[in-house]
Structure 1
Amino acid sequence: MNFAATLIRASLLCGLLLTGACADKAASRQPVKIVVGFEAGGAMDTLARAFATRLSARLQRPVYVENRVGAGGAIAANYVAQSRPDGNTLLLASPAEIFINPIDARRQESGEVAEMVPVAKVSSAPVVLATRGDSAIQQLGDIAIAANKNIRSLSFASSGVGSLQHLVGESLGKALGVELLHIPYAGAASATASLMSNQVDLLFAGLAPIAAHLESQKMHALGIASAHRSKRLSDVPTFQEQGLQGVSFEYWQGIFLPKGASSERALFLSAEINEVLKDTGFVAQLDNLGFEVAYKDYKQFKLFLQAEDQSYQSFFRKNGFLF
């Protein structure tokens, strides 16, 4: 090959490399989008918006929240899974999007959700079982009594079919030996409104959308479907403490990148998230919203998800739930 041809090939190669570098640099200046699979005003949305403000300050770039509601978070998860893996589209997810929805193949639009890149576990929150303050159901044992007296089934609201709250409700009915009618909503905000307007008997929700109602005693908490009590609701016992086994789930929240994202991007974001969660002011804000910091970095989160996967697979094999 002569010198001229070599020079042309070298120039073309440099051009391609520069184009890629420019593309990466341009991508790093674009706004970051945190996608949430539930409506505005719910627990996940509340966390995402608080987190976006702090992450924006760390990254020195705009960070905003986009709600893609439906199918218990599956629509949002599939959207992010198939997005460009440039680090500008993130998913704030819970067990529903990652483990519960994919159990039923009819609800999974693609298998790419399983190939998303985990970044960091951010927090956890209690799943609260609540009734209206004036309800005759004031303790866990009252549910079975009321169910046996009612001609119609007792109903419970959740933030959607396939949500963790839905799974907890079905598990509770099975553990108590009663039939509970599931009424799904687009998110916790509308599910909460349905309880307050007397459209349903029970509500499973994160603490954030119902805290004010609990404080005003317009709602009453019957129990916590988690392994330990909530700091904000320290006087409310867990289901296990009330003698109910098999209805304990961790409602965790974590950040994911699309399929194909590099481990370098994941490690970078994981470190930035860690810095955000070290901010005592932000920790206090999360605590006030009903979330507890439960950070796990990129590698720790991957191991955690592997254990969660085995746990959910075992649970579904044992109980045979299919939504």
Structure 2
Amino acid sequence: MHDRFIPKRRLSLLFAASALTAGLFSAPVCAADWPDRAVTVVVPFSAGGTTDVVGRLIANKLGQMWGQSVVIENKLGAGGNIGSAAVAQSKPDGYTILLASGSILTVNPHLYASLPFDVDNDFLPVTNIAQGPMVVVTAKKVKVKTLQELLDMAKKNPKKLNMGSAGMGSQVHMAGENFSYAAKVEFTHVPYRGEAAGLSDLLAGQIDLMVGNIGAATPHIQSGMINVLAVTSKDRAAMLPDVPTVSEAGVPGFENYGWFGFVVPKGTPNDIVRKIQQDTVKVLAMKDVKEKLSSLGMQAVGNSSEEFANNIKEESDRWAKVIKERNITISSGG
């Protein structure tokens, strides 16, 4: 018997055809086919905090809409940088989404000497989901009844009051820094691995105050376990109508908002980014979702990817100035 001989040119064509066929089967999935399996939403903070609560609300609705599981993965640490880096390094196919707090995208690039990701080069903005004010809250052991009394105490005792946060560089941390900077007082910062952990120690009297997300703090305010002195919005908050604004209570002109938005790894196909954005907007328009966000003291946003990108840039520029003037730096971002 003789071995079958295949001319070199024909062999080359066969290999080319095989490669083309393999390419067809390994081609990136398009939005019409996506998702065909579970999607992971990474929340870079602990379970129970505002980011987590908002994430679970939206993930549940998207899962129903897509007919696939949308799983929340809490991957915390380093002010949200660890979870964010994991998403930046994931495959850009739409199956891994980051629910980022504003601080991750607009503060951390200026705060950390080095980061394991680059906001501009590693992420594509999808949409801002929701925003809301923060609240200045104190432990019951802190014997003040008004914001002005807190400021007077802080001025008489520089750095004696401990201010908790959701972690270095978190929006809870930076809201506190922004507040102390505007009020010209100094607190000692105590970072936690997530807002829920900080609030737990505030309830226990282990720290003195926080400038926390209104949704996370309000149940404890309403139970009488902590005291609320002011909200950081321009106008009074609907869920706490008797609480004055920081501007009213002693720091004229002060405003600070927390927000959360979806971003995906750079390179995610545009049609998939568009589908995530459009479907998230549909979820945010649902009556029960609006009501839940309102109960958290937040307002649905659902802007376009382009608008979201512009907002990130503008806010990033503002935080760069504050951080430089406050001379705040952190050596490593995770």
Q: Which one of 211, 223, 230 corresponds to residue 216 of structure 1?
A: 223
Tell me how far 1:150 sits from its aligned partner: 4.6
**TM-score, with structure 2 as normaliser:** 0.88
1:242 corresponds in structure 2 to 249
State how far apart, in whole Å, the 2-side matches of 1:304 and 1:195 are.
Answer: 32
Structure-to-structure mapping, 1:51-70, within 5 angstroms: 51-70=58-77
State how far apart, in whole Å, the 1-side matches of 2:271 and 2:30 are.
Answer: 17
1:102 corresponds in structure 2 to 109
2:60 touches 2:70 (CA, 8 Å); kept in 1? yes
Tell me how far 1:185 sits from its aligned partner: 0.7
State how far apart, in whole Å, the 2-side matches of 1:239 and 1:46 are.
Answer: 26
Tell me how far 1:88 sits from its aligned partner: 0.6
1:90 has 2:97 as partner: yes
Tell me how far 1:134 sits from its aligned partner: 5.8
Q: Which moved more, 1:128-137 or 1:95-104?
A: 128-137
2:166 corresponds in structure 1 to 159
State how far apart, in whole Å, the 2-side matches of 1:151 and 1:290 are.
Answer: 32
Q: Which amino acid aligns with 1:48?
A: G
State how far apart, in whole Å, the 1-side matches of 2:33 and 2:181 are.
Answer: 53
1:287 has 2:282 as partner: no
State how far apart, in whole Å, the 2-side matches of 1:17 and 1:126 are.
Answer: 49
State how far apart, in whole Å, the 2-side matches of 1:73 and 1:226 are.
Answer: 24
1:127 has 2:134 as partner: yes
- Unaligned regions of 5+ residues in structure 1, if any? none
Tell me how far 1:130 sits from its aligned partner: 0.5
**TM-score, with structure 1 as normaliser:** 0.90
Alpha-carbon distance change, 151 to 230 in structure 1, aligned in 2, over 3 angstroms: closer
Tell me how far 1:100 sits from its aligned partner: 1.2
Q: Which amino acid aligns with 1:315?
A: V
Q: Which one of 187, 199, 218 corresponds to residue 192 of structure 1?
A: 199
- Unaligned regions of 5+ residues in structure 2, if any? 1-7
Tell me how far 1:244 sits from its aligned partner: 1.2
Tell me how far 1:318 sits from its aligned partner: 4.1
Q: Which moved more, 1:247-256 or 1:311-320?
A: 311-320
State how far apart, in whole Å, the 1-side matches of 2:261 and 2:68 are.
Answer: 21
State how far apart, in whole Å, the 2-side matches of 1:7 and 1:251 are.
Answer: 58
2:202 touches 2:208 (CA, 8 Å); kept in 1? yes
Partner of 1:85: helix, strand, or coil?
A: coil
Q: Which amino acid aligns with 1:91?
A: L
2:137 touches 2:230 (CA, 8 Å); kept in 1? yes
1:179 has 2:173 as partner: no
Alpha-carbon distance change, 282 to 23 in structure 1, aligned in 2, over 3 angstroms: closer
1:264 has 2:249 as partner: no
2:4 corresponds in structure 1 to none
Whose radius of gyration is greater, 1 or 2? Answer: 2
**Which stretches of structure 1, 4 residues or longer, exceed 6 Å deviation after superposition?**
1-4, 22-27
1:49 corresponds in structure 2 to 56
Q: Which amino acid aligns with 1:61?
A: Q
Q: Which one of 71, 81, 86 corresponds to residue 79 of structure 1?
A: 86
1:9 corresponds in structure 2 to 16
Q: Which amino acid aligns with 1:235?
A: D
Q: Identity across aligned pairs (percent)?
A: 28
Q: C-alpha deviations, 1:135-173, integer Å up to 9, x for none?
A: 312211112322355587111111111112212222322
